[in-house]
Structure 1
């Protein structure tokens, strides 16, 4: 008993925690990752349902660019507009990339480079401008006749309009016969067209009729007039194979606010730009 009295008294207290504690914060990180993944999944499903195939391709290209960006090819539409900043000359190759000293294989096989192509386009434009000047300044065409002619250069080529004037129609409205001066104009135009190698397109237009007398004959009349002028050009010496199309537009393309104006009775001759 004496030995037991000398042992120290040890009191053990047990701490009881209600709810089991938080067991660390790792589960919160895992749960946040799960919520983020689910949000991304539902956003992906929404995009697949709400976009077109072209839009989806654009989104995919944004995250994985497929446009080549190389030393000799500008790939975007930014400051350089797709041109290479490393071009040897001031004119860089467009579209297919490469410079005039290092053209792409496809264009090199055709003997074309960026500078050559730009020069060919410039030469074609200059030829059309010279043709326009020759037509408007031809001494064989009187001032009264040239008052029926209007020319302009467009993206499609040199557009030559031959139109009616009050009391001086290009075609008789009753008989459909052409004006006496129209064959002479066609002959001069065919001769001048021989100075270039560009193809030609023809279009016929007519003025609209009042609603009470309007009929579907407008299509036939405009087409017949274009065909008649085609025959005049061929009679004047223009090779038939150079005429690429002959169309009738009826009264669908008025030149002004009034579709019944006499100015809408016209022939449209286009010396087409070359496919360079």
Structure 2
């Protein structure tokens, strides 16, 4: 031990100063590297979080904007349900995109917004079930009109065929009275049936017009009901998108729009009633 101490004591102070300085420098470098590493790890973690937030924001924005587009389309399609042929397409087929985007919206939105969207989806489901009963008589009349159209066209074509046969009979100077009378009876029957189905078609179209009028009267309160449920969803989406403007003012504007739409609907119904009287 004394030998070691003697050896250390024999080392010049200048050398020890250099060693100590080197150790201090090395320690400073290690401390600096450790601090830089921690700062880099934190920075990378922060950047990753920010990028994830940006990706989520972009995803939510796309879903929100798509949802707004589908809300508009769904409201428009509600007014065209009577024109759908139930034998060729599903009654609710035009609303599939709406229900899909609503499910996406509920997945990425806040809990409060998701509840509002759920209420809107439920309202649309209820309305569609109600509309089935409302438009079914119109679809039945449309089917009857199609049958009358087909029968009318068939008997008109038959009348033309028989008339051509009568013309040929006369031009060929034939004298078989029984044949001529049979052709004449066939022509008169075809004409009678064509007139019958033509009149039936006109009557059915009058019924269809009256039914469309009643449908319009029924549809207006339904659209108002949808608008009242949809307005809070639009406000919630606007809040989540952090759009500029007063949300309260937007809510009041939506309520005013509903009142204006209700007034316009009532005026339209009155005009249609006056036109039918």
TM-score, normalisation: structure 1: 0.29
Which structure shows the higher strand fraction?
Answer: 1
Which structure shows the higher helix fraction?
Answer: 2
TM-score, normalisation: structure 2: 0.28
